[in-house]
A and B are shown apart, each in its own frame.
Chain A
Amino acid sequence: MKLSELFDKSEFVVTGEVGPVKGAIPRDKDYVPPCMAEALHLEKKVHAINVTDNQSAVMKLGSMAASVKLKQNGFEPIYQITCRDRNRIALQSEILTAFSLGVDNMLLLTGDHTNLGDHIEAKPVFDLDSVQLVKIAADLQKGKDMVGNDLLNAPDFFIGAVVNPNFQPLDLQLIKMKKKIEAGAQFFQTQAVYEDSVIDQFVAKTELFDCPVQLGVVVLKNPAMGKYMNNYISGISVPQKWINEIGSVDKADRKKKSAEMMGRFIRKHKDKFQGVHIMPLGWTDIVPDILEYAEINVNGGIK
């Protein structure tokens, strides 16, 4: 199901996120891969689940395989694909393949630089940028590849893109967001935001863009993670008061505390967005609690 069906009905769209494993899936039919185990916590709690693409440039199982596996098990995947590891031929081909294997929603990103990952000597590709990729994805849906050749059967999927409200100067980030919309982006997920003022500035400037936006949140697990994100994760900043609050309880109570903090934040801002995208980084088990604190009920959701 394309998420457009929900946005069009003005439903508040809730999505989660899982990352494929570093490794392969064995032949054993009873084996449940970790990303599937994580997804099971989200059953009936979210509308769709993002599947990351070699996130942070760390080499893993492909997002396509995991997306298809989720789909086969009744979940709605949002297949993430980045420009970092593929040239224009591979990108177009993967989009066609993903659609053909049942993927209805794709999130098209630039991708973190290879330098941030575990293969720093790799050749970063970046043959296309994310605006070009969005445009080319939209062209594929019109039955043409990027050089104008006809396709036998055009794919039909919902095109997502990302935007970082933390970016300074924000106006520069928004020039790019506008270009993505003009190129064919149909919804946005934001980078993780933790500050009220960042949200308010972003919302004030994008209100008239006429494109659904999901607020992105990354589940803060402990103070060390907050500091780590501030130091090493580009484009995210975690205010000290968040770090203090998650540090105010014992380790055993962190999941509960985190659910409360994330839920409170989402509740406060949910009316300004058309959905929320929760990135639990493995703590998918607390997503139901987060949504409860946020007073969000996805109405049965997708499986």
Chain B
Amino acid sequence: MHATIQKPVEEIVKHIKPGEKVFVVGCNNCAWKCHSGGEDETKAMSERLEKRGIEISGYTVPGPQGMSLCKLDHTTKVLKTEYDEQLKNTDSFLVLGCGQGVHTVIDATDGGMVHPGCDTIFGGETVSESEINEYCSLCGECIIEFTGGLCPLTLCAKSLLNGPCGGAENGKCEVDADRNCGWIMIYDRLMKLGRLDLIESYQKPKNHAKWSRPRSLKVSHHKASFSSMAGTVTVSNID
């Protein structure tokens, strides 16, 4: 999921011009889990903005719980059919969701003016209702086969691939004493699994071309094609 956190309301307000009519859009999936743009927060944001003198033309969180704002066909349908009238009276959209959601609103409104209401902070695992942690940096070429499934690009502050720097102390990273050293976590895990051999061999430098942006994915029932600066890779999903 994409973790997001709301921008401070005073910062949001600064970017809204006097007289601008704003429609607030939330997301019923990731932003709902992050309490940054679910039903409650979207309604609350509309009220908070009104309290600060901003004219709200409407608000919505498209779809049932679990529905992503970034699913363009659904968001388009909801905005265009259910909110047609309000949209005619709207100058801009405040989006409480991730950057993908912001773009979805642009697409769904034929290029409408948008304001990002959140900072998109990382892709994470929802480990509990109150905690989301980052375990993957979406690099485009997964190398965690040799680390027992723990990502050194993400869990090591320096993204080192061939073992730890010299900086860890008491199992903690040199960058932050509250954070575990990713390489010690990898070592401990592989030790338990009896697979320390996995980290003994040389790991070549990362192919950053696969981490280039923007990237795209074309999918069908039987194949998928991933395009990046490294070229297009197509794989079969069925054989």
Q: A113-B157, A234-B168, A235-B174 are in contact. Are A132 and B163 (CB under 8 A)?
A: no
Q: A88-B205, A127-B208, A131-B202 are in contact. Are A164 and B166 (CB under 8 A)?
A: yes
B159 (CB) vs chain A CBs: closest residue: A126
Flag the segment in A11-19, A67-75, A167-175 that touches B. Answer: A167-175
Give the chain A neighbours of B170 by CB distance below 8 A.
168
Give chain B nearest CB distance to A217 CB in angstroms: 15
Give the chain A neighbours of B196 by CB distance below 8 A.
175
Please tell me which one of the listed residues A124, A146, A163, A172 contacts residue B158 in the complex, with CB atoms under 8 A apart: A124
Residue contact A172 to B164, C-beta cutoff 8 Å: yes
B190 (CB) vs chain A CBs: closest residue: A172
Give the distance in Å from the alpha carbon of A60 to the alpha carbon of B205 in the complex: 28
Give the distance in Å from the alpha carbon of A235 to the alpha carbon of B165 in the complex: 9
Residue contact B161 to A115, C-beta cutoff 8 Å: no
Q: A135-B202, A173-B164, A237-B169 are in contact. Are A126 and B158 (CB under 8 A)?
A: yes
Residue contact B174 to A131, C-beta cutoff 8 Å: no
Give the distance in Å from the alpha carbon of A124 to the alpha carbon of B156 in the complex: 12
Interface residues of A in 204-224 (CB under 8 A from B): none
Asked if B1 is an interface residue, CB under 8 A from chain A, the answer is no
Residue contact A129 to B167, C-beta cutoff 8 Å: no
Asked if A286 is an interface residue, CB under 8 A from chain B, the answer is no
Asked if B49 is an interface residue, CB under 8 A from chain A, the answer is no
Dominant secondary structure at the B interface: loop
Give chain B nearest CB distance to A16 CB in angstroms: 20
Asked if B175 is an interface residue, CB under 8 A from chain A, the answer is yes
Residue contact A175 to B167, C-beta cutoff 8 Å: no
Q: A88-B205, A129-B161, A132-B204 are in contact. Are A116 and B166 (CB under 8 A)?
A: no
Give the chain A neighbours of B169 by CB distance below 8 A.
234-235, 237
Give the chain B neighbours of A83 by CB distance below 8 A.
158
Give the distance in Å from the alpha carbon of A163 to the alpha carbon of B175 in the complex: 18
Give the chain B neighbours of A162 by CB distance below 8 A.
166
Give the distance in Å from the alpha carbon of A237 to the alpha carbon of B170 in the complex: 11
Asked if A61 is an interface residue, CB under 8 A from chain B, the answer is no
Give chain B nearest CB distance to A92 CB in angstroms: 11
Asked if A112 is an interface residue, CB under 8 A from chain B, the answer is yes
A132 (CB) vs chain B CBs: closest residue: B205
Residue contact B160 to A110, C-beta cutoff 8 Å: yes
Inter-chain contact total with CB atoms closer than 8 Å: 96
Asked if A86 is an interface residue, CB under 8 A from chain B, the answer is no
Q: A115-B175, A131-B202 are in contact. Are A176 and B163 (CB under 8 A)?
A: yes
Give the chain B neighbours of A178 by CB distance below 8 A.
200
Asked if B184 is an interface residue, CB under 8 A from chain A, the answer is yes
Residue contact A234 to B174, C-beta cutoff 8 Å: yes
Give the chain A neighbours of B174 by CB distance below 8 A.
112-113, 116, 234-235
Give the chain B neighbours of A203 by CB distance below 8 A.
none
Give the distance in Å from the alpha carbon of A135 to the alpha carbon of B161 in the complex: 13
Give the chain B neighbours of A128 by CB distance below 8 A.
205
Asked if A94 is an interface residue, CB under 8 A from chain B, the answer is no
Give the chain A neighbours of B206 by CB distance below 8 A.
127
Give the distance in Å from the alpha carbon of A246 to the alpha carbon of B184 in the complex: 34
B183 (CB) vs chain A CBs: closest residue: A172
Contact with B along A182-195 (1 / 0, CB 8 A): 11000000010000
Contact with B along A84-117 (1 / 0, CB 8 A): 1000100000000000000000000010110110
Supplied contacts A126-B159, A176-B163, 6 more A-B pairs, CB within 8 Å = A130-B160, A167-B168, A168-B168, A168-B171, A169-B184, A234-B168
7 contacts between A and B (CB under 8 A): A88-B205, A113-B175, A126-B160, A168-B168, A176-B163, A179-B163, A235-B174
- Interface residues, chain A, with chain B CB atoms under 8 Å away: 83-84, 88, 110, 112-113, 115-116, 124, 126-132, 135, 146, 162-164, 166-169, 172-173, 175-176, 178-179, 182-183, 191, 234-235, 237
- Interface residues, chain B, with chain A CB atoms under 8 Å away: 157-171, 174-176, 183-184, 187, 196, 199-200, 202-206, 208
Q: Which 4 A-B pairs have the closest CB atoms?
A: A164-B166, A234-B174, A176-B163, A234-B167
